[in-house]
Structure 1
Amino acid sequence: MSLTVAASTQPLSAETVFDLLQRVRDKAPRVHAITNSVAQSFTANVLLAIGAIPSMTIAPDEVAGFVSGADALLINLGTLDETRRRAIPVAIEAARDAGRPVSVDPVFADRSAIRCAYAQDLLALKPDLVRLNEQEQAALFQDRGAVESLIRGGTVLAVTGEEDRIESLQEDFRLRNGHPLLARVTATGCAGGAVLAAFASVERDTALASAAGLSVFNIAGEMAASEARGPGTLVPELLDALYTMTSRDIELRLKSA
């Protein structure tokens, strides 16, 4: 589904990407992630590797307190059980009251009509960022007008695929980093969504933050794959790449249209 909302596609510089990564490292933002049970541990470790701080509670009676003290909120629908259903609206309200960015990852919205309807209800709340793949996008939006309406309301879309697309009202980005081995490890996409939330907490331009965060994660994936023997060794290599990434690493590898 092609989009034509933004005025133009913008180049992304390695200097900007590293600057935002360094701001995450310096600020150490706390990202509260209501994420799926498969992804919790890996997501927490990825956030720690980039210099952020994770919090993960899904208890409805305490989630507002955690979110109100965090710098960003991530909602991931990977395992949409009753506890998470009750916690999510409480968390979003707390994030809005605190002025924190809200990111939604409608995982597998294309697999379940019930989940798709729930995700559409969340999109109606106009989150700051929605990260999804092309199949999820097709399930959630029946035509281009529905997509453009969401974007005109201020939401940024980060659509992942062979070429990643960041779509917003002001600017678009096209990104081509990443490695096929990332798809051989569970929860890499979910953890990558948490990186975007961390970057959005230090940069008001959510489209730029999303492009930089996605580039950092995918460049780390390339660096890790060059050292790994397979999926089992990719994970520690990925965490190390995120932790040690330099401006030179980004300069050598960044692929942005």
Structure 2
Amino acid sequence: MMSAPASVMDALDLPNLAGLLLARLRSRHIRVHAITNAAAQTFTANLLLASGAVPSLTFAPEEVTGFTSRCDALLVNLGTLDKDRRLAIPHAIATANAQAKPWVLDPVFVEVSPPRLEFCHECLSGMPRVLRCNESEFKALSGTEPTSEALQAFAKSHAMVVALTGTIDLITDGNRLIRIANGHPLMTCVTAMGCAGTALIAAFSALHDNALEATAAALLVTGIAGEIAAHEAKGPGTFQPAFLDALFSLNSSAISTHGKII
């Protein structure tokens, strides 16, 4: 992994860092293995391709170790928790950890299913680099309301970054807290937008040693692409392709212009 220049990290110039990581992703073609839900697979692959990354998606238990060994980062999404994925996920996590590769956990709908919540806690014991969740998922995992203090305490106790996405994205490593206000309501009208965006967090985490900054940069890029796409789209049906086009064309200048770090 390569860290960004010290001046960027020290100042936490997030738009500049996001532009650097996006450019680096396009030149290095980071491989992300995404064990994700059935509804998100195609969009996740297309988002990664549009950003410059290379996706793989198998969840066959007999193959997942080989694919994880070949990737630069791993995404574990619990949205479709069938028998094969339940068997494959622990192998993928163990492989990523053995090879010191970053992996990101997306605990989809853990608030709905107690068995899924239990499995998610088992995944957390595998020490993900990043947990990306919404308010309901965080409440189920932590047993607390998602205040800034609760997010920071949970992140610190698990030695990971917590990214709570919503109208305002909150990202913390237990010490620093970053707030990002980019995004658009149409992003909530297209299935798998959050799931696919989490794959970009995995990709950026393979390019930058500071997981807090990598996560915030990925969410900033995703939010800005969503805003730009919303200006072109007529509704949800045209939003998804407009989003992919916006992400494909996004550059450092647009990120600096549109970034809303509050």
Does the 8 Å contact 2:179/2:261 carry over to 1? yes
Deviations 1:111-163 (A, max 9, x none): 11111111111112221110000110001102477962552442110111121
Deviations 1:223-256 (A, max 9, x none): 0000000111111111111111011211111000
After superposition, the Cα gap between the structure-2 partners of 1:145 and 1:236, relative to the gap in structure 1 and judged at 3 Å, is closer
- State yes or no: 1:40 paired with 2:41: yes
- State yes or no: 1:103 paired with 2:111: no
SS class of match (1:65) = helix
In the alignment, which residue of structure 1 is the partner of 2:131?
A: 130
Residue type of the partner of 2:104? S
Residue type of the partner of 1:201? A
Deviations 1:25-60 (A, max 9, x none): 111100000000110011000000000000000010
Equivalent residues in 2 for 1:131-150 (5 A)?
131-143=132-144, 148=153, 150=155
SS class of match (1:91) = helix
Equivalent residues in 2 for 1:50-89 (5 A)?
50-89=51-90
Does the 8 Å contact 2:32/2:72 carry over to 1? yes
Specify which of 164, 168, 171 is matched with residue 163 of structure 1. Answer: 168
Q: Write the distance in 1 (CA, Å) between the matches of 2:227 and 2:140.
A: 30
Q: Write the distance in 2 (CA, Å) between the matches of 1:30 and 1:38.
A: 21
Q: Write the distance in 1 (CA, Å) between the matches of 2:28 and 2:179.
A: 27
In the alignment, which residue of structure 1 is the partner of 2:186?
A: 181
- Report the alpha carbon displacement of residue 97 of structure 1 after superposing the two structures with TM: 1.3
- Report the alpha carbon displacement of residue 200 of structure 1 after superposing the two structures with TM: 0.5
Residue type of the partner of 1:58? F
| TM-score, structure 2 as length reference | 0.91
- State yes or no: 1:232 paired with 2:237: yes
Residue type of the partner of 1:123? L
SS class of match (1:79) = coil
Q: Write the distance in 1 (CA, Å) between the matches of 2:50 and 2:65.
A: 25
In the alignment, which residue of structure 2 is the partner of 1:120?
A: 121
After superposition, the Cα gap between the structure-2 partners of 1:228 and 1:146, relative to the gap in structure 1 and judged at 3 Å, is closer
- State yes or no: 1:252 paired with 2:257: yes
Q: Write the distance in 2 (CA, Å) between the matches of 1:146 and 1:232.
A: 34
SS class of match (1:148) = helix
Residue type of the partner of 2:224? I
Residue identity (%): 46
| TM-score, structure 1 as length reference | 0.92
- Report the alpha carbon displacement of residue 12 of structure 1 after superposing the two structures with TM: 4.3
In the alignment, which residue of structure 2 is the partner of 1:26?
A: 27
Deviates more, 1:166-175 or 1:53-62: 166-175
- State yes or no: 1:206 paired with 2:207: no
Q: Write the distance in 2 (CA, Å) between the matches of 1:146 and 1:130.
A: 11
Q: Write the distance in 1 (CA, Å) between the matches of 2:91 and 2:101.
A: 14
Residue type of the partner of 1:129? V
Deviations 1:196-230 (A, max 9, x none): 11110100100000000001011000000000001
In the alignment, which residue of structure 2 is the partner of 1:7?
A: none
CA root-mean-square deviation: 1.6
SS class of match (1:165) = strand
Structure 2 runs not aligned, ≥5 long: 1-10
Structure 1 runs not aligned, ≥5 long: 1-9
How many corresponding residue pairs? 248
In the alignment, which residue of structure 2 is the partner of 1:192?
A: 197
Q: Write the distance in 1 (CA, Å) between the matches of 2:82 and 2:14.
A: 40
